[in-house]
């Protein structure tokens, strides 16, 4: 476990581990924007957004003020979310094509069938409704651990958790760039025999998620799998009760990603593997990045 016993210092003008991770990702994204400038109509706006966001962060770090304490703990949320939205522009510009057929081939080759098609035999509106709720609550579930740590004044542990989760999101974005794919909902739609149907709010929840995610190449690795495992692991800092609740929630979430046709099973393996690597390496990396200015 990382050394996270330091007291909260509201005038701390050092860069925290999460700051360094996000600024490094910004530098990488800026290099992509400059390298593929002609393929990105939004390049000037993206470049300006990165430079302004970095400047705001550096100012809040080096010039502590009454807003800095809250900003420095919670800014990764909008920053990482903006990086996700940006990936919908960067991935197609940089890669130009997707690898959905390759991922679908890996799945069908291993299982002897496409898992999303095979799971049609389990389809039931009540199950679909339940699993869509589980899937939709992914972001609140990840943030809930952070909120509980914040509310209890456990700021050092909050900072480590924020670093772990931010690192998880940024790692998944690199995966989207390396293996761009949209998922079986789009590629295997012609093979599905029945549409998914829920009972009450299924269609509305799916519509909202479609508006937020459908333009993204965000299939590999499964960020839902990766981040939920990280949230489960981080929840042990809150209490044994929450650790057990997240342990129960996580397998339902992972199953939902395939049942609802969002992911190939190879995405789940990649997401779980990424989570395992981060769980093992994040404490050491956190200590290293917490040193110095």
pLDDT tens-digit map of 60-117: 998 888 888 899 999 999 999 999 999 999 999 999 889 999 999 999 999 999 999 9
Tell me, yes or no, whether 218 lies in a domain: yes
- pLDDT digit string, tens, across residues 141-150: 999 999 999 9
* Count of domains for the chain: 1
> Which pLDDT belongs to residue 7?
41
Q: What is the dihedral of CA 91, 94, 96, 99, to 10 degrees?
A: -60
Give residue 237's domain range: 17-289
Q: What's the rounded Cα separation, in Å, for the pair 8 and 258?
A: 42
Tell me, yes or no, whether 3 lies in a domain: no
> Which pLDDT belongs to residue 10?
60
- Regions of the chain where pLDDT drops below 70: 1-11, 212-215, 292-293
> Which pLDDT belongs to residue 8?
47
Tell me, yes or no, whether 2 lies in a domain: no
> Which pLDDT belongs to residue 34?
97
Q: What's the rounded Cα separation, in Å, for the pair 41 and 36?
A: 10
Tell me, yes or no, whether 274 lies in a domain: yes
Tell me, yes or no, whether 21 lies in a domain: yes
* pTM of this structure: 0.92
> Which pLDDT belongs to residue 200?
83
Mean pLDDT over the full length of the chain = 91
- Check the CA dihedral 208-210-215-218 and report its sign: positive
Tell me, yes or no, whether 1 lies in a domain: no
């Amino acid at each position: 476990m990382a050394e996270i016993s330091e007291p909260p210092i509201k005038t701390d003008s050092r860069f925290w581990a999460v700051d360094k991770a996000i600024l490094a990702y910004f530098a990488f994204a800026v290099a992509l924007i400059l390298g593929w400038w002609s393929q990105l109509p939004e390049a000037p706006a993206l470049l300006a957004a990165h430079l302004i966001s970095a400047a705001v962060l550096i100012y809040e770090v080096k010039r502590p003020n009454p807003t800095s304490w809250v900003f420095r703990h919670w800014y990764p949320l909008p920053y990482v979310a903006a990086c996700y939205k940006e990936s919908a522009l960067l991935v197609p510009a940089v890669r130009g094509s997707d690898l959905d057929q390759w991922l679908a081939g890996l799945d069908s080759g291993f299982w002897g069938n496409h898992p999303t098609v095979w799971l049609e035999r389990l389809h039931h509106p009540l199950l679909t409704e339940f699993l869509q709720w589980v899937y939709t609550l992914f972001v609140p579930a990840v943030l809930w651990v952070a909120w509980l740590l914040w509310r209890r004044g456990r700021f050092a542990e909050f900072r480590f958790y924020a670093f772990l989760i931010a690192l998880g999101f940024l790692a998944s974005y690199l995966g989207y760039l390396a293996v761009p794919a949209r998922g079986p909902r789009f590629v295997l739609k012609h093979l599905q025999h029945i549409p998914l149907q829920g009972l009450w709010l299924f269609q509305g929840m799916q519509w909202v998620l479609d508006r937020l995610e459908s333009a993204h190449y965000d299939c590999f690795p499964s960020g839902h799998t990766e981040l939920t495992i990280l949230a489960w692991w981080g929840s042990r800092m809150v209490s044994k009760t929450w650790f057990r609740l997240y342990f129960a929630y996580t397998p339902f979430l992972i199953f939902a990603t395939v049942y609802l046709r969002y992911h190939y099973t190879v995405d789940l393996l990649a997401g779980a593997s990424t989570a395992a690597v981060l769980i093992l390496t994040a404490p050491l990396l956190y200590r290293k990045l917490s040193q110095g200015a």
